[in-house]
Amino acid sequence: WKSIKIDGYGSVPKHFQHVRKLNPIEKKSILVSGGAGFVGSHLVDRLMLMGHNVIVVDNFLTGSKDNILHWMDHPNFELLRHDIVEPLQIEVDYIYHLACPASPVHYQTNPIKTLKTAFIGTLNMLGLAKRTKSRILIASTSEVYGDPEVHPQKEDYNGSVSCTGPRACYDEGKRAAEALAYSFQSQNDVDIRVARIFNTYGPRMKWNDGRVVSNFILQALRDEPMTVYGDGSATRSFQFVYDLVEGLMRLMDSNCTEPVNIGNPVEYSVLELSSMVKDTVKEFNPSCSSVLVFKHAIEDDPRRRRPDISRAKEQLNWSPKWSVQRGLQLTVKYFVSELEENS
């Protein structure tokens, strides 16, 4: 199998000598729905290296076996090909519920399926948590704030979301998922955690997911024009995936049952991001001459987005450690190796 690099751990070697041997009391069975996806697979790496039993449930809609291939033969690891819109009966201690397409091009391809995954899929995961009395962490999103009128966004902001626009299937699906989680908490005492995740990037992002970071990196590596939608003044706060995984694990281990923003509060415009990507790509390809091309603005595109992370700081003692510049270096490196492998 392929060895992979995990920062702070080096490579995951062939014989997994880095996997801790936990004593049976510490070792938990942890379900990661969507564990073959971008974020889920990094979480799986961390949980596996800690020595837990990890069960991945994924229907491979947007995820890939490649992301978890390196664990396939490990006795602590199990992969179930399953669509969470269908009920699932297994025995677990903790559930990280991440299954849902996350990038606009993917969640808008089949909006009804996105809504079913967000609502029925979450219902099934909550039903599973209720029956097994396991703690469940729901991966929600900054999209619950919609196109925010309040800046930066705190967890008590109720959001400005269109329930009819092209992003509604995802935004309203996630809002319903949160409402469902809090209803299972109040009605059935289910032990829930809710993470509102802001834009995240890093290795294992898909090439074709249409997000600004992956688009710009690929375009710059191929010396193609970088596509800016609108005038490039829209802002986002970009979080590196390792920071997110750390935040999710701290939230799971905390007593905080309120929603928690997990994101990097450093905000950049799309134009600023384009020049940072170009600078980073130049370290790998000094002759990169990619220019900008301006396209029509897209419908319902939030103008600004930045998390207020006071709650995560106070309750989880968490804040992001990765600057965008450092995170981009690892991400560009990943895309370079993917391009080489696929050329």
By the rule CB under 6 A, 267 interacts with ligand UDP? no
Size of the site for ligand UDP (CB under 6 A): 22
Write the Ramachandran bin of 45: left for phi over 0, alpha for psi from -120 to 50, otherwise beta. Answer: alpha
Q: How far apart are CA 79 and CA 4, in angstroms?
A: 19
Q: Are 199 and 238 in contact (CB under 8 A)?
A: yes
In this complex, which beta carbon is closest to ligand UDP, that of residue 197 or of residue 316? 197
Which residue stretch of 25-33, 121-129, 319-327, 330-338 sits at the interface with ligand UDP (rule: CB under 6 A)? 121-129
Helix (H) or strand (E) holding 49: helix 38-50
By the rule CB under 6 A, 101 interacts with ligand UDP? no
Q: Is 287 helix (H, G, I), strand (E, B) or coil?
A: coil
Min separation Cβ 290 and ligand NAD, Å: 23
Q: What is the DSSP letter of 76?
A: T
Min separation Cβ 197 and ligand NAD, Å: 4
Query: What is the total residue count of the chain?
Result: 343
Which residue stretch of 6-14, 35-43, 81-89, 248-256 sits at the interface with ligand UDP (rule: CB under 6 A)? 81-89
Here the tokens at position 70 are 């390196």
By the rule CB under 6 A, 104 interacts with ligand UDP? yes
Min separation Cβ 167 and ligand UDP, Å: 8
Distances 264 to 5, 31, 244, 275, 334 between C-alpha atoms, Å: 23, 26, 9, 19, 21
Distances 31 to 20, 46, 129 between C-alpha atoms, Å: 18, 13, 10
Could you say which of ligand NAD, ligand UDP, none residue 83 binds, taking C-beta under 5 to 8 angstroms by partner kind?
ligand NAD
When binding is defined by CB under 6 A, the residue of 128, 194, 220, 260 that contacts ligand UDP is 128
By the rule CB under 6 A, 241 interacts with ligand UDP? no
When binding is defined by CB under 6 A, the residue of 17, 89, 164, 186 that contacts ligand UDP is 89
When binding is defined by CB under 6 A, the residue of 41, 62, 76, 124 that contacts ligand UDP is 124
In sign, the C-alpha dihedral spanning 293, 334, 243, 320 is negative
Min separation Cβ 29 and ligand NAD, Å: 18
In this complex, which beta carbon is closest to ligand UDP, that of residue 227 or of residue 315? 227
Strand-strand pairing, 10-12 and 4-6 = antiparallel
By the rule CB under 6 A, 127 interacts with ligand UDP? yes
Which residue stretch of 21-29, 120-128, 249-257, 324-332 sits at the interface with ligand UDP (rule: CB under 6 A)? 120-128
In this complex, which beta carbon is closest to ligand NAD, that of residue 19 or of residue 39? 39
Residue 96 appears among annotated catalytic residues:
no
Residue with tokens 């880095």: 18
When binding is defined by CB under 6 A, the residue of 98, 115, 234, 330 that contacts ligand UDP is 234
Q: How far apart are CA 74 and CA 36, in angstroms?
A: 16
Q: How far apart are CA 157 and CA 288, in angstroms?
A: 42
Tell which positions 310-329 bind ligand UDP, by CB under 6 A: none
Q: What is the DSSP letter of 75?
A: T
Those residues whose C-beta lies under 8 Å from the C-beta of residue 193, and which sit 6 or more positions away, are 135, 136, 137, 138, 251, 252, 254, 256, 257, 260
Q: What is the binding site for ligand NAD (CB under 6 A)?
A: 34, 36-40, 58-63, 83-85, 98-102, 117, 121, 139, 141, 197, 199-200
Min separation Cβ 287 and ligand NAD, Å: 31
Which residue among the candidates 94, 170, 201, 242 is catalytic per the annotation?
Answer: 170
In sign, the C-alpha dihedral spanning 280, 224, 343, 64 is positive
Helix (H) or strand (E) holding 128: helix 122-132
| Residues forming the site for ligand UDP (CB under 6 A) | 87-89, 104, 123-124, 127-128, 130-131, 199, 211-212, 215, 227-229, 234, 236, 270, 298, 301
Residues marked active site are found at 170
